[in-house]
Amino acid sequence: MERRMLIAGNWKMNGLQKARKEVADLLALQGGKMPSMFDVLLCPPATLVADMVRDAGASGLAIGGQDCHHADHGAHTGDIAASMLKDAGAAYVIVGHSERRADHGESNAQVKAKAEAAIAAGLIAIVCVGETLAEREAGQAFDVVGKQVDGSLPEGADGQNCVLAYEPVWAIGTGKVATPEDIAAMHAHIRAKLEKAGGGILANARILYGGSVKPSNAEQIFALRDVDGGLIGGASLKAADFSAIIDASKSL
Ligand code: PEP
């Protein structure tokens, strides 16, 4: 089955109301519509989700959250439920980003529970995995990422409701990009795991690469075997850069 590419932007903790202009600019740069041959997503801070859903309108630009709680509701001050993101119009939610794993000590089991909550709420879960520099230098990258995939994959996931994102921690926000060989090798490793998981129903889940993707390297990275698009931080904040990444992907 042909996998549909996904170009996803993660704004992290960046964006006030005035940042919504980037959505208007992105739509203008793309002629009012996202390309029909792949999926485009922006994940702003939770405060902007509902507004950006309205801004995106019928353009085909999907909006997502950056995290959700594993519970549907309750006494969890400051947290947000997957059903709330869905209610605000989100279509996706990122879970297990390395910044959440590091800043909030999120374990694979917690990430898995969040992804399950996302799927139960009708969202597509983007489950992030990736090794640190120390782990890569110690030759543990495949083992670490393999364990993260095994431990974080939600029950009930299939190729439609679950996306994996491989993001080497040392490549996030650093300007350092993994080599094409390293990206291809890790994506093949993850693909092999997905082919076995859940009796094969995840075989066709998309695997994104994340880590300093920009207009100048997007095409080369996205053309690699088993790379089904990207999760993009810094370069998704400015409409011109994100639009250039979308444009670079059109020839693939
Ligand atoms: C990210 O936020 O997941 C990310 C990959 O960031 P950047 O593109 O800035 O490295």
Question: What is the DSSP-derived secondary structure letter of residue 230?
Answer: E
Please work out, in degrees rounded to the nearest 5, the angle formed at the alpha carbon of residue 15 by the alpha carbons of 100 and 213: 65
Q: What is the pLDDT of residue 199?
A: 78
Identify whether 73 is a catalytic site residue.
Answer: no
What is the CATH T-level fold of the domain 6-249, as seen in this structure?
TIM Barrel (3.20.20)
pLDDT at 1: 63
pLDDT higher than 70, residue 132: yes
pLDDT band at 125 (very low <50, low <70, confident <90, very high): very high
Q: Measured between alpha carbons, how far is 202 from 139 in angstroms, rounded to an integer?
A: 27
Q: What is the model's pLDDT at position 200?
A: 83
Q: What is the DSSP letter of 81?
A: B
User: Residue 95 and residue 4: Cα distance in Å, rounded?
Assistant: 20
pTM for the model: 0.98
Site residues for ligand 1, CB cut-off 6 Å: 10, 12, 167, 172-173, 210-213, 231-235
Compute, in angstroms, the gap from residue 113 CA to the centroid of ligand 1.
Answer: 23
Q: What is the mean pLDDT of the chain?
A: 96
pLDDT at position 21: 98
Beta strands, E only, the chain: 6-10, 39-43, 61-65, 92-95, 124-129, 162-166, 206-210, 229-232
Average pLDDT over residues 201-208: 94
The candidate with the shortest Cα–Cα distance to 245, out of 27, 28, 7, is 7
Residue 203 neighbours by CB under 8 Å, 6+ apart = 159, 191, 194, 195
Residue 17 confidence (pLDDT): 98
What are the start-end ranges of the E strands in 133-228? 162-166, 206-210
Ligand 1 pocket mutation pick from 101, 216, 232 by most atoms within 8 angstroms of CB: 232
Q: Which of these ranges, 99-103, 127-131, 145-149, 176-180, has the smallest mean pLDDT?
A: 176-180
> Which of 13, 133, 212 gets mutated to test ligand 1 (max ligand atoms within 8 A of its CB)?
212
Output the CA 75–ligand 1 centroid distance in Å: 31
Give the start-to-end residue ranges of the domains of the chain: 6-249
Query: What per-residue confidence (pLDDT) applies to 198?
Result: 75
Q: Name the residue of 43, 167, 176, 241 whose CB sits within 8 Å of the most ligand 1 atoms, as the mutation to test its pocket.
A: 167
Q: Are 83 and 71 a contacting pair, CB within 8 Å?
A: no
Strand pairing of 124-129 and 92-95?
parallel
Say how far apart CA 118 and CA 82 lie, in whole Å: 5
Q: What angle do CA 199, 201, 202 make, to 5 degrees?
A: 110
Residue 128: helix, strand or coil by DSSP?
strand
Per residue in 19-66, pLDDT (tens digit) is: 999 999 999 999 999 999 999 999 999 999 999 999 999 999 999 999
Q: Give per-residue pLDDT as tens, 211-225.
A: 999 999 999 999 999
Q: What is the mean pLDDT of residues 191-208?
A: 91
Q: How far is the CA of 199 from the centre of ligand 1 (A)?
A: 32
User: pLDDT-derived band of residue 72, with 50, 70 and 90 as boundaries?
Assistant: very high
Residue 130 pLDDT > 80: yes
Closest atom of ligand 1 relative to the 94 alpha carbon: 3
- Give pLDDT tens digits for 150-180: 999 999 999 999 999 999 999 999 999 899 9
Which atom of ligand 1 approaches the CA of 165 most closely?
3
